[in-house]
Amino acid sequence: MFRPPPTPPLTHAQCVARAQHSAPALIRRLAAIVYESTLLFGVVMFAGIVFGVLVDQKHALAHRNGLQATMFAVLALYFVGFWVRGGQTLAMKTWHLRLLRRDGLPVRPLQAALRFALSWLWFFPPLLLAWAMQWHSAKEITSLLLVWFVLYALLSKALPQGQFLHDQICRTALVDTRPDDQLPAHPNARKP
């Protein structure tokens, strides 16, 4: 069976250099988010089944707050665990992305936990607005979420190094882990 050659790990010098340059292309980061969502579906379903069996849940609304807290904890453990141990979730490995501190070193547990909490900026502002406006229609809420998602993603274009707002606040950086010969040319690089 054909396997692509393994990608060599980044050196410390490469990590430092990449953490101080522009973020990977927005489309690659968004693709990783979509893929991550697909993978998380299975994680969340498994955790939900385990929770339901453990509390003998007979109805979907029974133990709803406990289920929500469990899902939040499972997601936090998933992301913080992967970010602290290597800086990559499964989807980030696939898309050759890695989370580092701005100085090129691995993220600390508290920093990863803060990034996880602040990454909810993708969802909380429109959900809070929908709650304040007392919107209950799935169509209205979904539309609001999609508009906010696009605006939040595009905001990274205006921020330094093109990183997302939660990365700016946490002083973290998403970097490209592909070998140097596979990286796109830097837009400011001079051609010979």
Domain ranges of the chain: 12-179
pLDDT (tens, 9 = 90+) of the chain, 192 residues, equals 666 666 667 777 878 888 888 889 999 999 999 999 999 999 999 999 998 899 988 887 788 889 899 999 999 999 999 999 999 999 999 999 999 999 999 999 999 999 999 999 999 999 999 999 998 899 999 999 999 999 999 999 999 889 999 999 999 999 998 877 667 765 444 333
Q: In sequence order, what are the residues at sequence separation of 6 or more whose Cβ sits closer than 8 angstroms to the Cβ of residue 191?
A: 185
Q: What is the pTM of this model?
A: 0.85
CA–CA–CA angle 49, 32, 182 (5° rounding): 145
